Amino acid sequence: MEQKIEEFLTRGVSEVIDKDNLKKRLLSGERLRIKLGIDPTSPNLHLGRAVTLLKMKDLQEMGHQIVLIIGDFTGVIGDTSDKESERPMLVEDVVEENLKTYAKQAGKLLDMDKVELHRNSEWLGKLTYKEITRQANAFSVAEFIHRENIKKRLDEGTRVSLREVLYPLMQGYDSVVLKADLELGGTDQRFNLLAGRELQREYGQQPQDVMMLNLIEGTDGRKMSSSWGNTINLLDEPNTMLGKVMSMGDELIVKYFVHCTRVSMEKVSEIEKGMEKGELNPRDAKLELAEEITRIYHGEENAKEAREYFIRTISKKETPKEVAEFEIEKSEIKLAEFLVFSGNASSMSEARRKIEQGGVSVDEEKLLDPQMILGKDFDGKVFKIGKFGFAKIRFK
């Protein structure tokens, strides 16, 4: 158990406060309350979020109580911890729509029957000015403005709203209400996580320990973020999930093995050394990684089928035998509209971007005009969309 706990405390971890205290409590056999909050700013959880969920899974398997907060209140307010500009407030209806499947998605990793699930509107929506001013008194303005991204915005003359000052209080108060022993989050959440410790002291509680996890890059090399559209989503189809992992740079292979899988660290070290010595082709290592990640979220059989699909259609550039057909009830449709209709783009702007960047083709000819009219002459044609998508069009 001690070795398992040591790996838990180091694998993919940037910082732990207070590490000695946390290790002692984990070794004691005490059942801890482990807090994780997720704001529903988009309908999909992605691998960046799953880095933390995997840690929660580790703790659940050790017998600790997982407390998952869906931030329906904080999601409306908006956290700008990692943003270079003010994040706009979300409409409550959008937040409600986004969070509909969050528990189901988290359930791909956690046993949700054993998870304590909350919405933080349960308590944040009831606070009075008197209570909020008590919480605010625990912090100074100087502490807030010395945060790196806030200081940068102030130096550049960019607006920082008072609403942003309040967000850490809300996240911190969640810890008070739930009497958290440990809170997990990304390195961009440092100030918010520490706010929980301060407010617990204010309310006479033992301050929670904090574990900060490294952030991972998305498909374009930037931090994985729904707002940038560079995510690998937990609800992605197996072929899409595996294909997205394969599209990433070789420099991320080891990082993804560490943060996004539970392949043993000994095996990860072997893979890293094998690539460094030229004994292991990075493409083979990445294919193993992609299959393992797909297996975690879709099972063994689907992962193997996705691997075979990738080798057949991407590596060998063959068109799959079975391609989803989309029947059009009118005589023509614009190319961008077809991408949205077939589910290969979530919006018209995303469809236009894919087309203009050369990501759509028919018979190996790129189609670069989003306004292009598709008519009867395209009936039965197979469109290749991005690196992994195929769609056949049919007209009535």
pLDDT at res. 144: 80
Q: Per the domain annotation, does 139 fall within a domain?
A: yes
CA 22, CA 64: separation in Å to the nearest integer?
A: 13
pLDDT at res. 380: 87
Q: Per the domain annotation, does 331 fall within a domain?
A: yes
Q: Per the domain annotation, does 133 fall within a domain?
A: yes
Torsion 228-40-106-55 (CA) sign:
positive
CA 114, CA 103: separation in Å to the nearest integer?
A: 12
Give CB contacts under 8 A, 24+ apart, made by 92-100: 95/40, 95/41, 96/72, 97/43, 98/40, 98/41, 98/42, 98/43, 99/40, 99/70, 99/72, 99/75, 100/43
pLDDT at res. 324: 76
pTM summary value: 0.79
pLDDT at res. 152: 81
- β-pairing, 382-385 vs 360-362, is antiparallel
What angle is formed at CA 395 by the lines to CA 391 and CA 396, rounded to 5 degrees? 140
The DSSP secondary-structure symbol of 19 reads H
Q: Per the domain annotation, does 80 fall within a domain?
A: yes
Same-domain status, 262 and 374: no
Q: How far is CA 106 from CA 37, 110, 141, 174, in A?
A: 12, 6, 36, 19
Same-domain status, 296 and 331: no
Alpha-carbon Rg for the chain, nearest whole angstrom, is 23
Residue among 239, 238, 287 nearest 385 (CA): 239
* Number of domains comprising the chain: 3
Same-domain status, 172 and 274: no
Q: Per the domain annotation, does 83 fall within a domain?
A: yes
Residue 288 sits in a domain whose CATH number is: 1.10.240.10
Residue that is last in its domain, among 249, 282, 315? 315
CA 29, CA 342: separation in Å to the nearest integer?
A: 52
The reply to whether omega before 236 is within 30° of 0 (cis) is: no
Q: Per the domain annotation, does 188 fall within a domain?
A: yes
Same-domain status, 62 and 169: yes
pLDDT at res. 76: 79
Q: How far is CA 255 from CA 51, 59, 99, 113, 261, in A?
A: 11, 21, 29, 31, 10
The domain containing residue 197 runs over which residues?
2-216
pLDDT at res. 85: 52
- β-pairing, 33-38 vs 65-70, is parallel
Average pLDDT per 10 consecutive residues for the chain, totaling 396 residues: 92 96 95 94 92 97 96 80 57 80 94 96 94 91 80 82 85 96 95 94 97 94 85 92 91 97 97 95 95 98 94 70 79 90 79 90 90 90 82 84
CA 285, CA 287: separation in Å to the nearest integer?
A: 5
Residue that is last in its domain, among 216, 250, 285? 216
pLDDT at res. 86: 53
Say if CB 195 and CB 158 are below 8 A apart. no
Work out the end-to-end distance of the chain between its first and last CA atoms, rounded to an integer number of angstroms.
63
pLDDT at res. 82: 54
Residue that is last in its domain, among 216, 246, 264? 216
Same-domain status, 32 and 168: yes
pLDDT at res. 158: 82
Residue 347 sits in a domain whose CATH number is: 3.10.290.10
Torsion 238-288-227-167 (CA) sign:
positive
Same-domain status, 332 and 283: no
Same-domain status, 96 and 243: no
Same-domain status, 61 and 128: yes
Same-domain status, 47 and 174: yes
pLDDT at res. 217: 95
The dihedrals phi and psi of 280, each to the nearest 5 degrees, come to -130, 125
Same-domain status, 355 and 305: no
Q: Per the domain annotation, does 320 fall within a domain?
A: no
pLDDT at res. 198: 95
Same-domain status, 297 and 342: no
pLDDT at res. 49: 95
CA 24, CA 320: separation in Å to the nearest integer?
A: 54
Residue 147 sits in a domain whose CATH number is: 3.40.50.620
Same-domain status, 113 and 173: yes
Q: Per the domain annotation, does 227 fall within a domain?
A: no
Query: What are the DSSP calls for 347-382, one per residue?
Result: SHHHHHHHHHTT-EEETTEE---TTPEE-GGGTTPE
Q: Alpha helices of the chain — where are they, by DSSP H? A: 2-10, 19-28, 47-61, 72-77, 92-98, 102-106, 121-124, 129-136, 141-145, 148-155, 162-178, 190-202, 238-246, 253-260, 265-276, 282-298, 300-310, 335-341, 348-356
